[in-house]
Amino acid sequence: MRFSFHHDNLVALKTDLLALYCAEDKLGEGTVFQALDRALEGLLTRLIAEEQFKGKKAQSLQIHTHGRIGPARILLLGGGPRREMQPHDLRGFAARAAKAGAAASAKQVAAVLPYTEGAVQERAAQFMAEGARLGRYRFDKYLTGDKKTPDTVEEFQIGMTSDNVESGRLEAIQRGVARGERVGAAVARARDLVNEPAAVMTPTALSEMAKQVAKEHHLEVKVLGRKECEKLGMGMYLAVAQGSEEEPRFLQLSYFPKTKVPGRKKIALVGKGVTFDSGGLSLKPSASMEDMKIDMAGAATVISAIGALAELGSPHEVHAFAACTENMPSGKAYRLGDVLTSMNGKTVEINNTDAEGRLTLGDAITYALREVKPDELFDFATLTGACMVALGPHTAGVMGSDLSLVERWLGAARLAGEEMWHLPLPEKLKEQLKSEVADMKNTGDRWGGALTAGLFLREFVGETPWVHVDLAGPASADKESGHVTKGGTGFAVATIVEYLVPRE
């Protein structure tokens, strides 16, 4: 999809479809709406009354213009009350416009950028590009015949009113679009990795994908096998891996910025890379296992995000890590009651083999700390069902040892339009992890399951400022909505970019 910009007469713009975003309480007020309505001799005003189009969220109205003006179709998309509209809603707007265009077999789709104020324009344009790209995302490689619908939309035109342009803001808008295209591509890549069945996206396949990302974006890549991880003493990670026929693969991707700027930080991004989570001997019931190819979403996020960081020229040195493995039951699988020795020397009694993520992450965190001594460490993991119970399916739980870092991270999430919420790490809950035979157990009891998982990870972090993002809910979606498509979502890629790539 190509993006282009139009600021002369939108009434004359030759396009297959022109979409307008309409606030509920400002219906009919925009200059573009009024110009189109005038050219159509009041048709739009009459139709919105007849069809009871009020501009409510999810409401839409499409008309054919039959050659009377430039755009062949006008699409009005409701945005809800003006005061509730946020720049990141533009992802949904652009996604809806692109989808309507595809449904009409349109080659060109135009959407009017609703913001005219400077500061938000770059972001607004970024969200439009992300939305147009991601709303049309399909994982259709396994579909055959007419189940596969071709994407007809070749050009996404961003329409602006003269106020946008007169103030010389085209550059900011173009910058926003360029950034949105890159974020969109990285999110789409993360979705692809997650959506691929576990039989295909094995730890080895994931490491090959990481190598491909490294090649594309000129990153350094290191892949460790079982033997090397044994030498490093990754007892927790390898215990999870021992039940599977698939070889474990520990990945590291590294990005070094070309120029040294003051304030440059060293960042470690650790992603959970369980390519299939059956639960191991603490086997999951079938319904809970059905989706467990998504358990490498954290790895998919960090692998894809570091590519975007390199492309956008982040000033920070960034390293991505993922301890990839399956969690399978077998005669070789790790057992309940086993005592594991982690890479940092702490011992862990296993009371549930389905709490495997924290084991793989614990060793990955220890490795990351020793290998790069980061200034800040972030981990991303589909870690607990309890986090979804607490926050619902669309919001990630954020925990951390450094409150100011947590705040800065949440600020980036807000700007990127990704829902995340701070959860505590209550000291008192550490009791739940007490063991008689080892330094700790790997699971606590039912209450506060997301928090005991966070407390478990904290044991491996030490003094490094750290943020833990439990994305068990938002990593995948069970239905399509705006720019979010069913299946893997690529969640957190946009926030990582927002956090690590400053704007001009």
DSSP codes of every residue in 102-165: HHTT-SEEEEE----SHHHHHHHHHHHHHHHHHHT----TT--GGGS------EEEEE--HHHH
Burial letters 271-307, b for 16+ CB under 10 A, else e: bbbbbbbbbbbbebeeeeeeebbbbbbbbbbbbbbbb
Contact between 326 and Mn ion by CB under 5 A: the answer reads no
Contact between 474 and Zn ion by CB under 5 A: the answer reads no
Beta carbon of residue 7, minimum distance to ligand BES (angstroms, whole number): 45
284 is catalytic: yes
Distance (Å, whole) CA 165 – CA 248: 54
Distance (Å, whole) CA 417 – CA 410: 10
Contact between 433 and ligand BES by CB under 6 A: the answer reads no
Query: Which listed residue (54, 175, 284, 414) is catalytic?
Result: 284
Q: How many residues bind ligand BES (CB under 6 A)?
A: 15
Contact between 311 and Zn ion by CB under 5 A: the answer reads no
Distance (Å, whole) CA 494 – CA 395: 14
107 is catalytic: no
Query: Which listed residue (99, 358, 441, 458) is catalytic?
Result: 358
Residue facing ligand BES at closest CB distance: 385
- Stretch touching Zn ion by CB under 5 A, among 86-94, 193-201, 293-301, 482-490: 293-301
Contact between 356 and ligand BES by CB under 6 A: the answer reads yes
Among 109, 270, 359, 386, binds ligand BES (CB under 6 A): 386
Contact between 470 and Mn ion by CB under 5 A: the answer reads no
| 143: amino acid identity, one letter | L
Does residue 71 sit in helix, strand or coil?
A: strand
Residue ranges in 452-481 that form contacts with ligand BES under rule CB under 6 A: 472
Among 16, 130, 181, 277, binds ligand BES (CB under 6 A): 277
Residue ranges in 341-370 that form contacts with Mn ion under rule CB under 5 A: 354, 356
Distance (Å, whole) CA 274 – CA 382: 9
- Stretch touching ligand BES by CB under 6 A, among 193-201, 248-256, 360-368, 383-391: 383-391
Q: Which two tokens stand for residue 75?
A: 């699409």
> How far does CA 475 lie from the centroid of its chain?
7
Contact between 277 and Zn ion by CB under 5 A: the answer reads yes
> How far does CA 55 lie from the centroid of its chain?
29
- Which listed option, ligand BES, Zn ion, Mn ion, none, makes contact with residue 101 (CB within 5 to 8 Å by class)? none
Euclidean distance between the first and the last CA atom of the chain, given in angstroms as a whole number = 26
Distance (Å, whole) CA 276 – CA 60: 40
- Which listed option, Mn ion, ligand BES, Zn ion, none, makes contact with residue 449 (CB within 5 to 8 Å by class)? ligand BES
- Which listed option, ligand BES, Mn ion, Zn ion, none, makes contact with residue 472 (CB within 5 to 8 Å by class)? ligand BES
Distance (Å, whole) CA 362 – CA 344: 9
- Stretch touching Zn ion by CB under 5 A, among 78-86, 192-200, 247-255, 355-363: 355-363
Distance (Å, whole) CA 207 – CA 193: 11
Opening angle at CA 38, ends 32 and 43, nearest 5? 100
Contact between 465 and Zn ion by CB under 5 A: the answer reads no
Among 126, 275, 344, 382, binds ligand BES (CB under 6 A): 382
Residue ranges in 291-310 that form contacts with ligand BES under rule CB under 6 A: 295
Residue numbers of the site for ligand BES (CB under 6 A)? 277, 295, 352, 354-357, 382-386, 443, 449, 472
Please give the positions annotated as active site: 284, 358
Residue numbers of the site for Mn ion (CB under 5 A)? 277, 354, 356
